[in-house]
Structure 1
């Protein structure tokens, strides 16, 4: 039950991200992907850092910068660039291949040997998403396609490295999320100023859109996402990703009056079924301990005591 609850809470992150395409196209100023990335990440990061009252120490200064670049600093601008230059459906399909990248990287970096079922779940989810969002005659934009692929690769690498590095001792996911959002936002800020110039004039709809994306779509969603990475395998977390384009399709139907064809409904069923199956098939890293607090969350004395207790349970004491 505890794992089910963790999966359910983590799933709220991609569900929230499914609203990104709607908010971007309906509420935000056009053609400002870098400014949008800054507004989404930096204020949320600073708020979380202030709430956590914890700053990085030692190696975590550069680790936070690397994770912030992968998960935020590169991912956000590329994601918005793809969303602006591609039909929403095509951008979503490119993003749906991210889980396959994570499964491959997790095998190499983390030793998570995902079985055939996990790979099939990722492929089936991408196929289902394509049935939902792709339309005949969708125009291809090379820059948009490259941005979509690069954003998926960046997020995949960030997910795997977040799992690999864990968190510092005594630091929770709130602080880790704040560090990454702040680092990512600061990386985007000078690039946005150089390439896009002064911020655009904002109306009430834009303030509403940016407020929602900063607080819920980014701050709360990324906190749940990184919390899930700390408690689940990288494969399990990433296979929740298809919920994002499925949510986008539902929002398009409910908010924009977009009809859902029988083919799209079948695709939704395939993608959702693959997402559920992926949670059952997701493999833990080879030789991993049972799920529990993230690495580094116990003191050395507690680790020694736990190891000694496990040795006694197995009927042996190592010296």
Structure 2
């Protein structure tokens, strides 16, 4: 399981790196729309090739559109926009705290209790994000709107997670991922064309390499690995490996993009990891209070 988990973490963290390369050739929302379309069509083609049912039951269409809007259009659309100005390492730092964002959404929407340990963990992780954001603003001259888009994206992803867990949707992960990608692309394309339609797109190696990696290795490969990890080790063990994501994100950013790593980055990462560990554990039984996951990790 260790090799598979490490492969997943690398794929998870590499999404921001591949996006950075793709942004050299295409505007953010156009790039995101292309990625979702390619991944969705590939998944549909795979289901047709395997002679599996393609169209989901009508009863779940509204849920799938909402999941696509939250997990794909808003979360990843905002993420692609943010990555045009935000370092890849900081992006992965924000992504790693999504389970704690889910705790907030569950408390606000479902009125589920949050233990003192979880609240303290959330505070510690938030402190890490503040340190990381401050470092990006000062060192990389990252604009505040980029940080705001990261927060918007994580809030949308958390809302999608809450819906996914409360809807009790009885479709396979492959079907859910296929149609939320398709729905997300359909919702995002009009926005992308209106706001970025006049901007040039360079159909070069950077663009095709980015799209193939994001659609194949991340949207499809990482998804399959994630659910394999959930099946073999359960949510608790699988989620623990995500603690390596910010570390891997900063490392890949340093090696592939030349992004610097400072003591503030390391301190922020340490705070976030400690906060996540605390937030995932109940103060009563020592077990994760909510096994929350979503069908699309990135």
TM-score tier, shorter chain, comes to 0.7 to 0.9
- The answer on whether the counterparts of 2:93 and 2:272 sit within 8 Å (CA) in structure 1 is no
The question of 1:284 aligning with 2:289 is answered: yes
Residue aligned with 2:80, SS? helix
Aligned residues: 277
What's the counterpart of residue 295 of structure 2?
none
Q: 1:128 to 1:144 in 2, by over 3 A?
A: closer
Q: More deviation in 199-208 or 270-279?
A: 270-279
Equivalent of 1:25 in 16, 20, 32: 20
Is 2:141 the counterpart of 1:146?
no
For the pair shown, the structure with the greater C-alpha radius of gyration is 1
5+ residue gaps, structure 2: 292-298
- Per the normalisation by structure 1, the TM-score is 0.70
**Matches of 1:225 and 1:118 in 2, distance apart?**
24
State the partner residue of 1:160. 162
For residues 214 and 278 of structure 1, do their structure 2 counterparts lie closer, same or farther at Cα, with a shift above 3 Å needed?
A: same
Mapped contact 2:65–2:184 kept (Cα < 8 A): yes
Which deviates more, 269-278 or 156-165?
Answer: 269-278
Q: Deviations over 1:101-150 (max 9, x none)?
A: 31021234456534222333333334345556724355353543432222
Q: What's 2:37 paired with?
A: 42
Match status 1:253 vs 2:254: yes
1:132-281 matches, cutoff 5 A:
134-135=135-136, 136-168=138-170, 171-197=171-197, 200-223=201-224, 232=235, 243-281=244-282
Distance in 2, matches of 1:147 and 1:241, equals 22
Inter-partner Cα distance in structure 1 for 2:259 and 2:150? 23
Q: Contact between 2:246 and 2:269, CA under 8 Å: does it hold in 1? A: no
Pick which of 266-275 and 238-247 moved more. 238-247
Q: Normalised by the size of structure 2, how large is the TM-score?
A: 0.75
* Structure 1 position 155, deviation (Å): 0.9
3-state SS of paired residue (2:169): coil
- Aligned-partner SS, 1:200: coil
- Distance in 1 between the 2:229 and 2:46 partners? 20
How far 1:225 moved relative to its partner? 5.5
Gaps of 5+ in 1: 286-290, 292-319
**1:222 Cα deviation (Å)?**
3.9
Contact residue 103 and residue 119 of structure 1 kept, 8 A: no
Change (3 A) 1:10 1:129: farther
Question: How far apart, in 1, do the equivalents of 2:228 and 2:58 lie?
Answer: 22
Secondary structure of 1:74's aligned partner: helix
| 1:215-240 Cα distance to aligned partner (Å, 9 max, x none) | 1222233455578899749xx98887
For residues 58-110 of structure 1, what are the alpha-carbon distances to aligned partners after superposition, in whole Å with 9 as ceiling and x for unaligned?
22111110100000012222111111134446655655664443102123445
Q: 1:157 to 1:229 in 2, by over 3 A?
A: farther
In the superposition, relative to structure 1, how do residues 118 and 127 fare at CA in structure 2: closer, same or farther (>3 Å)? same
- CA distance, structure 2, for counterparts of residue 65 and residue 200 of structure 1: 28
| Contact 1:71–1:155 (CA under 8 A) maintained in structure 2 | yes
- Answer whether contact 1:91 1:145 (CA < 8 A) is retained: no
Root mean square deviation, CA, Å: 3.7
Contact (CA 8 Å) 1:41, 1:185: kept in 2 or not? yes
Return closer, same or farther for 1:13/1:190 CA change in 2, 3 Å cut-off: farther
1:112-123 to 2 correspondences below 5 Å: 112-123=112-123
User: Contact 1:38–1:189 (CA<8 Å) still a contact in 2?
Assistant: yes
